[in-house]
């Protein structure tokens, strides 16, 4: 079977993305530890999902990234809470995104995934980048995806392509896709804060909540609020 690398935090988007290719590829999922508050919960979710789906699982520690980051995800800074109305407010979304931005995170993750791909001869790298979050996170955008794939054409001795099945999808459409491919979405973990139960008020939790609601699919996630 052909091999694939999945950049895998155990979150909703990457779980759905990897599930799209689960039947056709031997998937090697990579979970990164960059000092994020949610690492323990992300790792737990990743391990459970990988075991259920038959993915191979690898952990990479990026201590240096945590040391240079000023993000509220991996510093003592408080992660902002948001309301549903804030999700479509460009100014407030930009403010929230700025707080949780980790320097060049997806650039770093994808480059490391490419190293793994070259080392095992994987054909594709699977990521959970999506249209909704690309509005405030440029490293989730279609332009970023296209640019990285162009880079691989000139910078790698093997054919590697990044696959982002959610690149044109909003969160509710990702939930619908996850339902279609039987992704174990109920096992995924999205909360920025790293609480045992999803906090329900950070931007990631709120987008997850809204996605299931708009999709009309039962949300089995337990939230604190």
Residues of the binding site for Zn(2+): 191, 199, 202, 205
* H/E run at residue 4: strand 3-7
The three-class DSSP label of residue 18 is helix
Give the residue ranges of the annotated binding site for ATP: 8-18
- Asked whether the beta carbons of 15 and 174 are under 8 A apart, the reply is no
Angle at 66 between CA 145 and CA 37, to 5 degrees: 90
Q: Rounded to whole angstroms, how far apart are CA atoms 183 and 163?
A: 17
The three-class DSSP label of residue 126 is strand
How long is the chain?
A: 225
Give the residue ranges of the annotated binding site: 8-18, 191, 199, 202, 205
CB atoms within 10 A of CB 180: 11
Q: Rounded to whole angstroms, how far apart are CA atoms 16 and 53?
A: 11
- Asked whether the beta carbons of 37 and 74 are under 8 A apart, the reply is yes
- DSSP-derived secondary structure letter, 193: S
């Amino acid at each position: 079977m052909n091999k694939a690398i999945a950049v895998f935090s155990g979150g909703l988007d990457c779980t759905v993305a990897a599930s799209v290719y689960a039947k056709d590829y031997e998937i090697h999922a990579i979970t990164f530890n960059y000092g994020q508050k949610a690492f323990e919960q992300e790792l737990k979710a990743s391990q459970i999902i990988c075991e259920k789906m038959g993915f191979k699982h690898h952990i990479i520690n990026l201590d240096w990234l945590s040391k240079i980051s000023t993000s509220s995800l991996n510093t003592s800074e408080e992660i902002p809470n948001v309301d549903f109305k804030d999700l479509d407010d460009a100014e407030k979304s930009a403010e929230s995104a700025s707080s949780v931005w980790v320097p060049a995170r997806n650039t770093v993750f994808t480059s490391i995934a490419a190293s793994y791909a070259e080392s095992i001869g994987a054909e594709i790298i699977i990521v959970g980048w999506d249209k909704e979050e690309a509005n405030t996170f440029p490293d989730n955008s279609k332009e970023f995806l296209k640019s990285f794939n162009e880079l691989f054409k000139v910078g790698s001795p093997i054919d590697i392509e990044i696959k982002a099945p959610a690149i044109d999808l909003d969160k509710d459409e990702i939930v619908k896709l996850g339902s279609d491919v039987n992704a174990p979405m109920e096992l995924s973990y999205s909360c920025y804060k790293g609480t045992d139960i999803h906090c329900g008020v950070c931007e990631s939790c709120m987008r997850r909540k809204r996605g299931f609601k708009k999709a009309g699919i039962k949300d089995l996630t337990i939230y604190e609020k």
